[in-house]
Amino acid sequence: MKRTNRILTTLIFIFLYIPMVVLIVASFNTGKDITQFESFTFKQYVRLFQDSSLLQLLGNSLIVSILASFCATTFGTVAALGIHNLNPKMRKAAMTLTNIPMTNPDIVTGVSLSLLFVFVGTRMLGQRNSLTFWTLLIAHITFNLPYVILNVMPKLKQMDKSLTDAAMDLGCTPVQAFFRVTLHEIMPGIVSGAIMAFTMSLDDFVISYFVSGLDFVTLPVEIYSYTKKPLQPKIYAMFTLLFLLILVLMIAMNLIQVYGDRKKAHSRTAGI
Amino acid sequence: MSKELIRLQDLTVEFDGERILDGINLYFNDHEFLTLLGPSGCGKTTTLRIIGGFLKPTSGTVTFDGKKVNDVPPYQRQINTVFQRYALFPHLDVYDNIAFGLKVAKLPKDEIKRRVSEMLEIVSLKGYENRSVDSLSGGQQQRVAIARALVNRPKVLLLDEPLAALDLRLRKDMQNELKRIQQATGITFIYVTHDQEEALSMSDTVVVMDKGRIQQIGRPEDIYNEPKNAFVADFIGESNILDGVMLQDYKVRFFGRVFDCVDKGFAPSENVDVVIRPEDIDIVPPEQGHLVGTVTSITFKGLNYDIIVEFKGFKWLIQTTDYHGVGSVIGIRLNPEDIHIMHKSEYSGMFGDYSSYSAEYDELTEDAADEEAE
Ligand SMILES: Nc1ncnc2c1ncn2[C@@H]1O[C@H](COP(=O)(O)OP(=O)(O)O)[C@@H](O)[C@H]1O
Ligand SMILES: [Mg+2]
């Protein structure tokens, strides 16, 4: 039983990661054909860094992801605080409301946001190009918010409620109490929320496709238009780099959590 | 004469329509050590939170130094609190925890340093400055919490069951320590506990609470010797509580016999509750006794024996230093000052009969109450 279990788990992992392995191998291939590995080369990486339009696209994606995750983290943390301070019934309702957009199909979110932006842009603001960098950014912030709230809420719940009372008892206004005490307590949740928002933003295609205009396009949206022709191998190189970036972020996030838990566990045992 | 510092007037608190505090009227004098005593859930913490400013009463007023402070937030009150579970800041070390209030008040660095080390001295935690608070024992965390509050030199210190989590030995030491600090600093202490012994031994004034109402206010001796109703008599120490009839001043009848007592001022033939403390009862040979009963159980308690004696179906608890085996017949004598008379109250008939008493049962329920309080 245990044996089959272990074999099954291994198989699942192989299955999960084999596409990435294929991609990475392809990025080091001299030949254009993925089905045939000719010889090892860094040439695709050199080409990637010579292709300014591709780098520009990557830059666009990073700008949107960083800005969107930063804003979403700020607003999401504030929203989580607000929700946390509601009475239990309202809190439950608010959490359901934040969860719905996450389970909503991306295409529905994308189309409805697009309709909204076009309506507001052309009808109310009288613009011709209503889909711009800003609509893209707003859309990304919108779909990132629930992930931040979902990561911050449990930390707020875990926090000893009397800590904020204690801070106010010692002279803090509610705002000071937040920055001096609450923020430190919920920091792990904020960090993991921010990382999750960043990765969601970086790889979003569907929503971005509907809300971006012609003058500002992100990497996934542009790549999609390439797929009608065969993909150039330098794109494999870029994907490999992106995969590594996400991998590093995820490992960092896990390390932060493990380290935090261990520190707590360690001090517990020392305390008793 | 010490002056009045805080007054609670007609205070009520309701949560979701449920009345948690019901018409609290209470004042606190400057330099006083006052204890709110009552079973878990009676509203002690709620009362403290109102004084600290963390909770607004549903109705009634809170005055501080003669001014109404209902709407003054906690950070503007000259009050500091030692919270029930200490509420130390986990991300700060011992020094920064204690310095927290002074830093918020933006005091000069060297003054902060001086006052914090002075406090560390007082609570005997010198050398622990850079320790993380999670690495301290319960007793040490307790002392950090006290230092963190006292370093701000408040007019009033609120303490919510500060010793409940400590073991008995440490608790006794800390009781003395707190009493010493209170006397040395002259700060008004408002102390919350469900432990009657702690309340009696530390306080200038004890306020006994139950079900959101004040049952009695008084000096510890008065609360013990002259409980106002069956609840107080039972909660503070052990009591045998019987039905009686007050025939006239200084004469009470119970168990079909008229006894002399020292109480007066009751209506003629008023039905009353009679309290007799187990340690006040004199055991005599049966032929000399006012009442004669049979011992049904005996428990060795160290200083004395607890014996349960049955008188005409009613079981009494008597504390004695002499051994009386189960089944032996004894007499008892009651002196007038051993008898305390109370008006009937909603608590009459609920306490004071030891029919179901067993030493183990008693300890079990006490442990349960302790756990609940934590
Ligand atoms: N925020 C709250 N919402 C609803 N009920 C509460 C709240 N705080 C306290 N209570 C209730 O008020 C009663 C008194 O609580 P508390 O003052 O903490 O008692 P004590 O400190 O004497 O044990 C309890 O029955 C408790 O359940
Ligand atoms: Mg309490």
- Helices (H), ranges, chain A: 2-27, 43-50, 52-84, 88-103, 106-118, 133-158, 162-169, 174-177, 183-202, 206-211, 219-226, 233-271
| A214 vs B189, higher pLDDT | B189
pTM for this predicted structure: 0.83
B205 CA distance to ligand 2 centroid (A)?
Answer: 19
Q: Which residue's structure tokens are 């033939």?
A: B269
pLDDT of residue B361: 44
pLDDT of residue A267: 53
Nearest CA to ligand 1 atom 6: B15
| Percentage of chain A exceeding pLDDT 90 | 47
For residue B374, pLDDT beyond 80? no
Q: How many CA atoms lie within 13 A of B312 on its CB side?
A: 7
Q: How confident is the prediction for chain B on average, in pLDDT? A: 91
Instruction: Report pLDDT digits (tens) over A153-164.
Output: 999 999 998 999
**Nearest to residue B358, comparing CAs of B307, B294, B318, B284?**
B307
**Nearest to residue A110, comparing CAs of A200, A202, A208?**
A208
pLDDT of residue B6: 95
Which 8-state DSSP code applies to residue B270?
E
Q: What is the 3 state secondary structure string of A3-39?
A: HHHHHHHHHHHHHHHHHHHHHHHHHCECCCCCCCCCC
- Label the pairing between strands B188-193 and B33-37: parallel
> Does residue B41 sit in helix, strand or coil?
coil
> Does residue A41 sit in helix, strand or coil?
coil
Instruction: Report pLDDT digits (tens) over B15-73.
Output: 988 999 999 999 999 999 999 999 999 999 999 999 999 999 999 999 999 999 999 99
Nearest CA to ligand 1 atom 2: B15
For B122-143, what is the mean pLDDT?
91
Residue A257: pLDDT band with limits 50, 70, 90: confident
Cβ contact, residue pair A169, B52, below 8 Å: yes
Cβ contact, residue pair A271, B91, below 8 Å: no
pLDDT of residue A44: 86
Q: Using a CB-CB distance cutoff of 8 angstroms, which residues of chain B are in contact with residue A171? A: 75, 101, 104-105, 152
CA-based R_g, chain A, Å: 23
For residue B165, pLDDT beyond 90? no
Residue B170: pLDDT band with limits 50, 70, 90: confident
Instruction: Report pLDDT digits (tens) over B334-360.
Output: 999 999 999 999 998 888 778 766 544
Task: Compute the distance between CA of residue B234 and CA of residue B238 in angstroms, rounded to an integer.
Answer: 6
Which 8-state DSSP code applies to residue A232?
P
B114 CA distance to ligand 2 centroid (A)?
Answer: 34
| Percentage of chain A exceeding pLDDT 70 | 94
pLDDT of residue A254: 83
pLDDT of residue A230: 73
Helix (H) / strand (E) element for B276: namely strand B270-276
Out of B89-98, B154-163, B347-356, which region has the weakest mean confidence (pLDDT)?
B347-356
Torsion sign (Cα): A176, A181, A185, A188: positive
Please name the residues in contact with A7: beta carbons below 8 A apart, sequence gap of 6 or more: none
pLDDT of residue B364: 45
Task: Compute the distance between CA of residue A238 and CA of residue A236 in angstroms, rounded to an integer.
Answer: 5
pLDDT of residue A264: 57
B216 CA distance to ligand 1 centroid (A)?
Answer: 20
Task: Compute the distance between CA of residue A44 and CA of residue A235 in angstroms, rounded to an integer.
Answer: 8
Torsion sign (Cα): B131, B134, B140, B141: positive
For B287-292, what is the mean pLDDT?
91
Instruction: Report pLDDT digits (tens) over B205-255.
Output: 999 999 999 999 999 999 999 999 999 999 998 899 999 999 999 999 998
Instruction: Report pLDDT digits (tens) over A134-158.
Output: 999 999 999 999 999 999 999 999 9
Instruction: Report pLDDT digits (tens) over A87-127.
Output: 889 999 999 998 888 888 999 999 999 999 988 888 777 77
Helices A88-103, A133-158: axis angle to 10 degrees equals 140
In angstroms, what separates the C-alpha of B15 from chain A's closest C-alpha?
12
- Label the pairing between strands B59-64 and B67-68: antiparallel
Residue of chain A minimizing CA distance to B90 = A185
> Does residue B176 sit in helix, strand or coil?
helix
For residue B266, pLDDT beyond 60? yes
Residue B81: pLDDT band with limits 50, 70, 90: very high
- Residues with a CB atom less than 6 Å from ligand 1: B 15, 20, 38, 40-46
Token code pair at residue A88: 């239990």
Residue B187: pLDDT band with limits 50, 70, 90: very high
For residue B304, pLDDT beyond 70? yes
For B272-279, what is the mean pLDDT?
94
Question: Given the CA of residue B373, which atom of ligand 1 is nearest to it?
Answer: 23
The predicted complex's ipTM stands at 0.84
Please name the residues in contact with A210: beta carbons below 8 A apart, sequence gap of 6 or more: A107, A110, A111, A113, A114
Residues pairing with B307 in the sheet: B298, B318
Q: Using a CB-CB distance cutoff of 8 angstroms, which residues of chain A are in contact with residue B131? A: none
Q: Are B292 and B259 in contact (CB under 8 A)?
A: no
In angstroms, what separates the C-alpha of B16 from chain A's closest C-alpha?
11
Burial category of B208 from C-beta neighbours within 10 Å (exposed 0-12, middle 13-18, buried 19 and up): buried
For residue A272, pLDDT beyond 50? no
Helix (H) / strand (E) element for B235: namely helix B230-235
**Nearest to residue B198, comparing CAs of B354, B373, B4, B356?**
B373
Q: Are B160 and B193 in contact (CB under 8 A)?
A: no
